[in-house]
Structure 1
Amino acid sequence: MPSNDARNLLRIAVPTAAAGVIAVAVSAAVAGGKGALGAAVGTALAVVFMGAGLLVLQWTAKSLPQLFQAMGLMLYMAQLLLLLIFVAVFKDTSLFDAKTFALSLVVATVVWMAAQARAHMKAKIFYVDPDSAKSEKAEKTGPKP
């Protein structure tokens, strides 16, 4: 993974993990041990799903740039559907508190997406590749004389 990608992943994962720690603490105070476990599982699930999606999207941008936008839209739709399926599957579980699980999953997902948007806006991405302008000769675009 290039250093810029790793830096972006760090800028996205740290706020999400911080929100997860807060969610675990609040859930432990409100719903006890099962609430804290539910919040931890929800946060971990969001980080794993969204992190895997980011890695897939970065791979797509490098190897198949023509499919980047379509892949991004499909990937976010698939992630949200899978998270909805997890909430539906674990809604009646007795392993942890389902409400804190669902709430922390939603909070972690929203924080991840907001941090990802902020990291993208702060990234210094070239609109024009400066190396390609030097290596290629300028072609005349007007009519031939």
Structure 2
Amino acid sequence: MQSNDARLLLHAVVPTLAIGAVAVAVSGAVAGVPGALGAVIGTVLVLLVMGAGLVVLQKTAKNHPQLFQMMGLLLYTVQILFVAVFLIAFKDTTFFDTKAFAFTLLGATLVWIAAQTRGHMKAKILYVEPDSAGTKKAETAGSPT
């Protein structure tokens, strides 16, 4: 992973962990241990799904830049489907508080997206390789005189 890729990942993970800690504290105070556990599971799910998606998207951009947009759309669809399957599978659970889980999942996802967007906007990523522009010289047409 390149340094700017790791930096983008870090810029998204730290605020998501912070909001997750706040959600665990609030959910624990409101709904007790099941609420805190639901908030922890929601935060971990967001970190795993969104983090894996960002890593896959960065590897796709590096290896197959022509597939970047299609892969991004496919990736977001798969992420939504994965979370939907998780929600359906655990909708009637008593192991954790589902409301705390759902609100934490929503909040952490929104914070991840906002932090990732901010990280991309502040990143100084070159669009053109500086070495490739200097090595090729333009040839002039016509005969030399």
Q: What is the Cα deviation at residue 11 of structure 1?
A: 0.8
Between the aligned partners of 1:139 and 1:10, the Cα distance in structure 2 is 45
Moved more, 39-48 or 72-81: 72-81
Q: What is the Cα deviation at residue 17 of structure 1?
A: 0.3
Q: What is the Cα deviation at residue 127 of structure 1?
A: 2.6
The answer to whether structure 1 residue 8 and structure 2 residue 11 are counterparts is no
The answer to whether structure 1 residue 19 and structure 2 residue 22 are counterparts is no
What SS does structure 1 have at the residue aligned with 2:125? Answer: coil
Give the TM-score normalised by the residue count of structure 2: 0.93
Q: Which amino acid aligns with 1:99?
A: K
Q: What is the Cα deviation at residue 7 of structure 1?
A: 1.3
* Misfit runs of 4+, over 3 Å: none
Q: What is the Cα deviation at residue 137 of structure 1?
A: 2.1
Q: What is the Cα deviation at residue 76 of structure 1?
A: 0.9
1:79-134 CA deviation, whole Å, 9 max, x = no partner?
01211221121110011001111111111111111111000000001232221101
Structure 2 counterparts to residues 111-130 of structure 1, below 5 A? 111-130=111-130
Structure 2 counterparts to residues 63-142 of structure 1, below 5 A? 63-139=63-139
Between the aligned partners of 1:139 and 1:116, the Cα distance in structure 2 is 43
Q: CA RMSD in A?
A: 1.2
What SS does structure 2 have at the residue aligned with 1:138? Answer: coil
Between the aligned partners of 2:89 and 2:82, the Cα distance in structure 1 is 10
Q: Which runs of 5+ in 1 are unaligned?
A: none
Between the aligned partners of 1:9 and 1:139, the Cα distance in structure 2 is 43
The answer to whether structure 1 residue 33 and structure 2 residue 41 are counterparts is no
Q: Which runs of 5+ in 2 are unaligned?
A: none
Q: What is the Cα deviation at residue 139 of structure 1?
A: 4.6
Q: Which residue of 1 aligns with 2:61?
A: 61
Between the aligned partners of 2:28 and 2:9, the Cα distance in structure 1 is 28
What SS does structure 1 have at the residue aligned with 2:81? Answer: helix
Moved more, 102-111 or 36-45: 102-111
